[in-house]
Structure 1
Amino acid sequence: METNRFTHHALSEWMKREGPDSDIVISSRVRIARNLLAYPFPMLATNQQSAEVLEQVRGVLDGGKLGELGTFSFMPLAELSELEKKVLVEKHLISPNLAAESRNGAVMLSEDESISIMVNEEDHLRIQCLRSGFQIKEAWAAANRLDDIFEDALEYAFDEKRGYLTGCPTNVGTGIRASVMLHLPALVMTQQINRILQAITQVGLAVRGLYGEGSEAIGNVFQISNQITLGQSEEEIIDNLYSVVRQIIEHERAARSKLAEESSYRLTDRVNRSYGILSHAVIMDSKEAAQRLSDVRLGIDLGIVQNVSASVLEELLVMTQPGFLQQYAGKKLSAEERDIRRAQLIRESFGNK
């Protein structure tokens, strides 16, 4: 089945391309929410209406206008298993809301998985573009081009005063959510992170964990995104996020230098202990795995660990999630069985059986 190539590999092709500042910035994402004028929002639409929306959006794909941006696969959610949907959520290719509650929901994915177009989620259309490293402006350019293609073919719900109308009032206006995922272990270790995060929220940005709203920042991974969608232009939103994230990157670099200079033995010991445990543990829960993978990734970036790929954090953070572990095992697993499989998978990734 075509879905297999999206659900059997943890690392998307776009993630294998090393982007700018990739030692700190894992990924950049822009998501655009749009609705069709002639139909109620998905939460109020009938089954027939949501099916018509699905066909209209699919018609844009069939019309060939998306060809300039690559080849796309169209997957109705009804044709996916619960496990396949869970893996796509863990890879950030669909939202938990689309996986759980959507009527006539579907996703269009580009071959390298850098573009995900969700249909009948909270909004009729959610266009998502992902880039490796710190490339938020490039992600915005790609999302904007996609938006233009759809807007040429479909009539959007738009108000001259309020902008684009969306299912959730917090998205009204531009309908844009731009976010950058950062690995900030040194700011956490030096106890500067709370001060930094408080300053971020005061300039209209939100801080979330690996899986967005409501998720915990495990493994020292933080997602920084805009909160304001109304009253600012798209470019202002992107520029504001860019300038704040640039400052966070510099603070993290300074904190890493300080740790390397003032606490080199303690830092090396911490990294090597985590590496040793990951290489030999027989059972491990997801929270401990994320923290120890964070330590090792920092060790890789600072040259303490030499024989592990720098993509270990991104790949294993996905591979050790419940859905992917069960996909890897080929069956449903209990919590303890997942912890055993997680440890096994990490050992194998580190060259130990």
Structure 2
Amino acid sequence: MKLEELADRCGEWLRGSGPQSDIVISSRIRLARNLAAFPFIRRCSEADRQAVDRAFRDAVAAVEEWKDIIFFDVNSLGTLDRQFLVERQLISRELSEASGARSVFVDRHETFSLMINEEDHLRVQVMHSGLDLTAAWEQISAIDDALGKNVSFAFHQRLGYLTACPTNVGTGMRVSVMLHLPALVITQQIEKVFRSLQKMGLAVRGLYGEGSQAMGDFYQISNQITLGSSEVDLVKQVGEVIPVIIDYERQARAFLVKESRKDLHDRVSRAFGILCTAQTISSEETLHLLSSVRMGINMGLIQDLEIPTINKLFIHTQPAHLQKLRGITLETADRNVERALYLQTHLRKRTDQN
């Protein structure tokens, strides 16, 4: 499968069909693993990296259920193609920006990916729509077991799985949930929530994980340390906090409807109007406006427009996706024009039908 074919589709985690999907975009679990026979990535020679890559290719090929898995040699991809996979949440920025032998395996529904030679030899990632951590944990555990039958992971009897970053030692697991929290931002309660999360040992990051800014009112909440906790404990730690944040967001939305419904409706309507009529628009402004529209749909302020459509636009209007869909490389100014046309095409369908 070519990247252009992926561009036309929408990953399973973006369908907006999971539990609490009006606020929770996705549930993600990552596992860090290293092969026992090789040094950590930072001490690997290029020959080591190639050997690690081959070892995982053989391990994946040995799993009968993965015969139709998609493979991309990240090292041979151009900058645009790598950026596309980052926007798609299929690889990390670290894997994109690294050098030497590295690759990724992706299942056709995009519920999981296997990143080879990132910060660790292997990063397994599972993503599900909505708040569905239990199912994500069950899937990633099965993937870990399947690979473990064909390779030997670096493991210490007392410390657990050995990883390049000390905070991942133990289970090597990061549990994260991506939430859309526009009402908490509007009511200026978001910082208070974040301070509470940090006191509980949870990290808050932006749309593209560590080091990224919060765009479109999207935030990833995850555990910070894995050592000393079991996989079940980590899933429970994050899983118990998320419903509280969901409740805070719902309360903030109810407050906005009760106290400033006209202002809220005006905010949503203006956002939708700009998206439908703009002749040029940046990706940052698009995310900001789509955030308001998404909230408006969930609060009943916009009719005949579905959340999966908006979720899709969040990704498809990103720079690399736009260029892949258009089939040509575009400068920033041209992308802004193309983005406006793309938004008009998909959003005006709704106004034309009314």
* Distance (whole Å) between structure 2 residues aligned to residue 261 and residue 103 of structure 1: 56
Does 1:199 pair with 2:220? no
Matches of residues 38-49 of structure 1 in structure 2 within 5 Å? 38-49=37-48
User: What is the TM-score with the length of structure 2 in the denominator?
Assistant: 0.95
CA shift, 1:51, in A, is 1.4
Q: Is 2:16–2:308's contact at 8 Å kept on the other side of the alignment?
A: no
Q: Which moved more, 1:294-303 or 1:152-161?
A: 152-161
Does 1:162 pair with 2:159? yes
Q: Is 1:10–1:318's contact at 8 Å kept on the other side of the alignment?
A: no
Partner of 1:87: 84
Pair 1:248–1:17, CA change in 2 (3 A): closer
Partner of 1:314: 311
CA shift, 1:220, in A, is 0.8
**Quick one: which amino acid aligns to residue 50 of structure 1?**
R
* Distance (whole Å) between structure 2 residues aligned to residue 215 and residue 317 of structure 1: 16
Instruction: Give the match's secondary structure for 1:130.
Output: strand
**Quick one: which amino acid aligns to residue 43 of structure 2?**
L
Does 1:236 pair with 2:233? yes
Instruction: Give the match's secondary structure for 2:26.
Output: strand
Q: Is 1:326–1:332's contact at 8 Å kept on the other side of the alignment?
A: yes
Q: Is 2:13–2:25's contact at 8 Å kept on the other side of the alignment?
A: no
CA shift, 1:11, in A, is 2.0
Partner of 2:8: 9
Partner of 1:149: 146
**Quick one: which amino acid aligns to residue 274 of structure 2?**
I
Does 1:285 pair with 2:248? no
Aligned-pair RMSD on alpha carbons?
Answer: 1.6
Q: Is 1:70–1:110's contact at 8 Å kept on the other side of the alignment?
A: no
Partner of 2:331: 334
Pair 1:348–1:335, CA change in 2 (3 A): same
* Distance (whole Å) between structure 1 residues aligned to residue 3 and residue 265 of structure 2: 42
Q: Which moved more, 1:69-78 or 1:285-294?
A: 69-78
CA shift, 1:200, in A, is 0.6
Q: Is 2:16–2:311's contact at 8 Å kept on the other side of the alignment?
A: no
Pair 1:331–1:25, CA change in 2 (3 A): same
* Distance (whole Å) between structure 1 residues aligned to residue 265 and residue 20 of structure 2: 22
Does 1:350 pair with 2:347? yes
**Quick one: which amino acid aligns to residue 28 of structure 1?**
S
**Quick one: which amino acid aligns to residue 10 of structure 2?**
L
Partner of 1:247: 244
CA shift, 1:143, in A, is 0.7
Instruction: Give the match's secondary structure for 1:218.
Output: coil
* Distance (whole Å) between structure 1 residues aligned to residue 13 and residue 194 of structure 2: 28
Q: Which moved more, 1:94-103 or 1:202-211?
A: 94-103
Q: Deviations over 1:292-345 (max 9, x none)?
A: 101100110011111222123321121121111222232222221121122111
**Quick one: which amino acid aligns to residue 125 of structure 2?**
Q
Partner of 2:301: 304
CA shift, 1:14, in A, is 4.0
* Distance (whole Å) between structure 2 residues aligned to residue 239 and residue 96 of structure 1: 28
Indicate which of 201, 209, 214 corresponds to 1:212. Answer: 209
Q: Is 1:102–1:120's contact at 8 Å kept on the other side of the alignment?
A: no
* Distance (whole Å) between structure 1 residues aligned to residue 180 and residue 120 of structure 2: 30
* Distance (whole Å) between structure 2 residues aligned to residue 197 and residue 151 of structure 1: 37
* Distance (whole Å) between structure 2 residues aligned to residue 195 and residue 326 of structure 1: 39
Indicate which of 187, 206, 209 corresponds to 1:190. Answer: 187
Q: Is 2:83–2:96's contact at 8 Å kept on the other side of the alignment?
A: yes
Partner of 2:33: 34
* Distance (whole Å) between structure 2 residues aligned to residue 75 and residue 173 of structure 1: 29
Q: Is 2:12–2:128's contact at 8 Å kept on the other side of the alignment?
A: no
* Distance (whole Å) between structure 1 residues aligned to residue 44 and residue 277 of structure 2: 52
Q: Deviations over 1:179-210 (max 9, x none)?
A: 10000011111111111111011100000110
Please list every run of 5 or more consecutive structure 2 residues that lacks an aligned counterpart in the other structure. none
* Distance (whole Å) between structure 2 residues aligned to residue 272 and residue 70 of structure 1: 47
Does 1:75 pair with 2:72? yes
* Distance (whole Å) between structure 1 residues aligned to residue 227 and residue 261 of structure 2: 46
**Quick one: which amino acid aligns to residue 236 of structure 1?**
D
Runs of 4+ more than 6 Å apart: none
Does 1:221 pair with 2:209? no
Does 1:123 pair with 2:120? yes
Partner of 2:104: 107
CA shift, 1:17, in A, is 5.6
Instruction: Give the match's secondary structure for 1:181.
Output: strand
CA shift, 1:40, in A, is 1.0
* Distance (whole Å) between structure 2 residues aligned to residue 334 and residue 118 of structure 1: 29
Instruction: Give the match's secondary structure for 1:223.
Output: strand
CA shift, 1:2, in A, is 3.4
Please list every run of 5 or more consecutive structure 1 residues that lacks an aligned counterpart in the other structure. none
Q: Is 1:115–1:129's contact at 8 Å kept on the other side of the alignment?
A: yes
